[in-house]
């Protein structure tokens, strides 16, 4: 354990805190379709901001794979194509931001993205699902996801009025493709190093536990009290990251 703490540059209390937040994020995303990095990124930004966004993108891989595979028969397969086509230019823009911004500037972008993403999710306008809206959600998701690892809200807004299985599985499938492409873009830009892999992999047990536990909460959390509480927590955490970056 001491070796792990030294490698992650965390205290035991900080590791337990981040693990618990990752578990909560995976529980929420496995239950309602999105929310992992919306919850997790502020916690990582407070503990180890220099490993963002690559580490949070890495730890999201098993989450998206599990979400897609668990309810694969409900996936809107056309969405995978059109969101991916829209995501490509967004990923390029997000990778450019990671390269050109200093760590403190990127922390401000991440914090502001968390607040913006929370506001988008609360506003929740009804959007017709078309090829154009799928591509547009992919574009915004690619830009936000690559620069801050928080790319879920655009797709969540688009599919929020679909049934739980369709929303969770479609978001999982499109996030899996998008997360993989964002990671490849950051690798090509030289922004993924051993510390990013180490941190992301160290958080995966908490992700898998949260994903497993979420199967017992589908019905309770799809339209319940946890979503507004999660968004409020994420918005306050994002504001804290912005203030921390400014100071």
Q: Distance between alpha carbon 215 and the CA centroid of its chain, in Å? A: 19
- More confident site: 220 or 55: 55
Q: Which two tokens stand for residue 220?
A: 């309770």
pLDDT for residue 225: 64
Whole-prediction pTM: 0.84
- More confident site: 120 or 233: 120
pLDDT in tens, 47-71: 898 898 999 999 999 999 999 999 9
d(CA 127, CA 138): 14
The total number of residues shown for the chain amounts to 247
Which candidate, 236, 180, 174, places its Cα nearest to that of 54?
180
State the alpha helices, DSSP H only, in 1-76: 2-8, 12-32, 36-47, 54-70
pLDDT in tens, 169-198: 999 999 999 999 999 999 999 999 999 999
């Amino acid at each position: 354990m001491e070796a792990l703490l030294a490698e992650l540059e965390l205290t035991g209390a900080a590791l337990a805190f981040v693990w618990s937040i990752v578990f909560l994020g995976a529980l929420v995303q496995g239950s309602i379709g999105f929310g992992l990095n919306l919850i997790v990124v502020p916690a990582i930004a407070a503990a180890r901001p220099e490993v963002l966004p690559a580490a949070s993108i890495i730890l999201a891989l098993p989450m998206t794979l599990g979400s897609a595979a668990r309810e694969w028969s409900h996936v809107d397969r056309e969405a995978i194509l059109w969101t991916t086509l829209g995501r490509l230019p967004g990923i390029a823009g997000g990778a450019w931001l990671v390269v050109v911004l200093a760590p403190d500037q990127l922390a401000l972008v991440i914090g502001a993205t968390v607040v913006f993403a929370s506001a988008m999710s609360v506003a929740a306008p009804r959007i017709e699902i078309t090829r154009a809206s799928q591509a547009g959600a992919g574009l915004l998701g690619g830009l936000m996801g690559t620069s801050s690892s928080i790319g879920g809200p655009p797709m969540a807004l688009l599919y929020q009025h679909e049934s739980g299985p369709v929303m969770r599985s479609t978001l999982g499938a499109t996030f899996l493709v998008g997360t993989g492409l964002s990671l490849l873009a950051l690798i090509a830009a030289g922004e993924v190093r051993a510390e990013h892999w180490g941190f992301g992999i160290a958080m995966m047990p908490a992700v898998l536990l949260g994903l497993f536990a979420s199967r017992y909460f589908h019905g309770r959390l799809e339209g319940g009290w946890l979503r507004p509480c999660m968004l409020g927590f994420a918005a306050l955490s994002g504001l804290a990251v912005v203030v921390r970056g400014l100071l």
